Chain A
Amino acid sequence: YALSGSVWKKRTLTWRVNSFPQGSGLSQETVRTLMHHALTTWGAESDLRFQEVGSQGPTEPDILIDFARAYHQDSYPFDGQGGTLAHAFFPGEHPISGDTHFDDEETWTFGSKDGEGTDLFAVAVHEFGHALGLGHSSAPDSIMRPFYQGPVGNPAEYRLSQDDREGLQQLYGRAPQTPYDKPTRKPLAPLPPPALPPDSPPQPLPDRCDGNFDAIANIRGETFFFKGPWFWRLQPSGQLVSPRPARLHRFWEGLPAQVKVIQAAYARHPDGRILLFSGPQFWSFQDRLLEGAARPLTELGLPPGEEVDAVFSWPLNGKTYLIRGQQYWRYDEAAARPDPGYPRDLSLWEGAPPAPDDVTVSNTGDTYFFKGLQYWRFPKGSIKAEPDSPQPMGPKFLDCPAPTVGPQAPRPPRAT
């Protein structure tokens, strides 16, 4: 899921159907009922409440629902049958925030058996996800996928997928459970055992602006910043998926609970597998943990007991570099064996800091060494750091201010 970065501050949201579909076989009562169920779907997984209001109220409702055609006074005209079906505006102070528009030229249906038309309930649940602050998701079973997926079944029984629940809870927290809650729907699947012993005090969230990450990796175009049992994700657009860190073990399914720190991580070429390193071992993931057991780093050519500071795959030769302190080893992925003649001195990478927090290659092919709050950039194909390195990480990667004090690399004298 992606988050829009905006949420409602209040927990009771008002809504009203301002106009109804013309020419579809659905009565106004049916449309209102479907909208009620679509909103209740999100309310059941959070402490949000939705209150329908009449048109005589003193103020406009938070979520005003309209069926409109072609150009309709916002900058997203509809395009007739098919194509774009609906849109909604993210939470905010603006009067249009939260408003949801459906293309009135679609054939809106409810409970259609022959697959004809477009199921209004399914699209309504999706659009209300946007009205609450969720972006599109690539998860196969998410209602927030951008493309119409067909009817989703009985509105009174429909439950959000795990991906959608987690997205909502990132924005609004977990739904409170009270002894008075009667399960109105099928009970949720049992939650996985907590990764932390229940009696441990809640951990304070780390501040990403402190830098000093344990590991940093470019994984499928997104940059992951690992710190203790947490991580942040930076989208290709340069936007953080969420300013709040996500829990390590809830995302990396199968990673043993006793692994508390990821020391290095990288996405391997060409198979795209993701390797997480902790201590003298590594775990390999595709979408889930593969092969289950931890593998020793000796498989990659390191001496027994040795650990790594940084690991990355260099696109120029497809080889994997494993850095520890001032030296590094190299592993030939194509031949599936360590290269002879290693370790070598890290000084080959001119300007690189010893014992980096991690190294990764950006989507544009530049290589970045990270350490503390700074990064050293090596242009694509080069093993010499840019002359203006190091630079502060905050502004470029973390949506943080540049540190005002702190050691800066001496600047080269200006040419007069």
Chain B
Amino acid sequence: RAREPSAQDVSLGVDWLTRYGYLPPPHPAQAQLQSPAKLRDAIKVMQRFAGLPETGILDPLTVATMHKPRCSLPDVLGAAGLVRRRRR
């Protein structure tokens, strides 16, 4: 069995997925919890984008990829402020 991700890994994972557009930013007013299913789907999309096996869990390879040097821009556009939105 893959080593269970530590709480710190999970926290890093959620922050990382939110920062790069795989998860929507939390809404303090709505205080919605991230459902495990959504987190799993977000991890899968990230794994597919990074060319990793799509396990849906924060396995060591995925956490290692999250530590790689990279560009600050999000991978899923529209989720971060760098995109200039055209007014409809």
Contacts and interface: CB of A to CB of B under 8 A. Distances in A.
B9 interface: no
B27 interface: no
A92 B51 contact: no
A147 interface: yes
Interface string A234-245: 011111000000
A146 B45 CA distance: 14
Nearest to A103: B72
A220 interface: yes
Given A84-B70, A140-B51, A147-B50, A75 B81 contact: yes
Contacts of B21: 237
A53 interface: no
Contacts of B81: 75
B67 to A, nearest CB: 8
Interface in B53-88: 65, 67-79, 81-84, 86
A6 B45 contact: no
B82 A146 contact: no
A381 to B, nearest CB: 15
A146 B77 contact: no
Contacts of A236: 45, 76
Interface string A1-26: 01111100000000000000000000
A88 B77 CA distance: 13
Interface in B1-26: 20-21
A148 interface: yes
Nearest to A82: B69
Contacts of A235: 76-77
Contact of B70 (A90, A91, A146): A146
A6 B86 CA distance: 8
Contact of A83 (B45, B69, B83): B69
Contacts of B83: 4-6, 90
A97 B71 CA distance: 17
Given A6-B84, A94-B84, A138-B50, A221 B68 contact: no
Nearest to A130: B73
Contacts, number: 96
Given A76-B72, A236-B76, A87 B51 contact: no
A401 to B, nearest CB: 10
A361 to B, nearest CB: 14
Nearest to A127: B71
A136 interface: yes
A330 interface: no
A279 to B, nearest CB: 32
Interface hub of B45, B65, B79 (most chain A Cβ within 10 A): B45
A85 interface: yes
Contact of A136 (B41, B45, B71, B78): B71
24 contacts: A2-B75, A6-B86, A78-B72, A83-B69, A84-B72, A89-B82, A89-B84, A90-B82, A90-B84, A94-B84, A106-B69, A126-B71, A135-B73, A135-B75, A136-B49, A138-B48, A140-B51, A146-B70, A146-B71, A147-B68, A148-B69, A221-B48, A236-B76, A239-B77
Interface of B: 20-21, 41, 45, 48-51, 65, 67-79, 81-84, 86
Given A84-B70, A136-B74, 14 more contacts: A2-B77, A5-B86, A78-B72, A83-B69, A86-B72, A87-B71, A126-B71, A138-B48, A146-B50, A147-B70, A148-B69, A221-B48, A236-B76, A237-B79
10 nearest A-B pairs in the assembled complex, by CB-CB distance: A87-B72, A92-B84, A84-B72, A148-B69, A138-B49, A136-B75, A147-B68, A147-B70, A135-B77, A76-B72
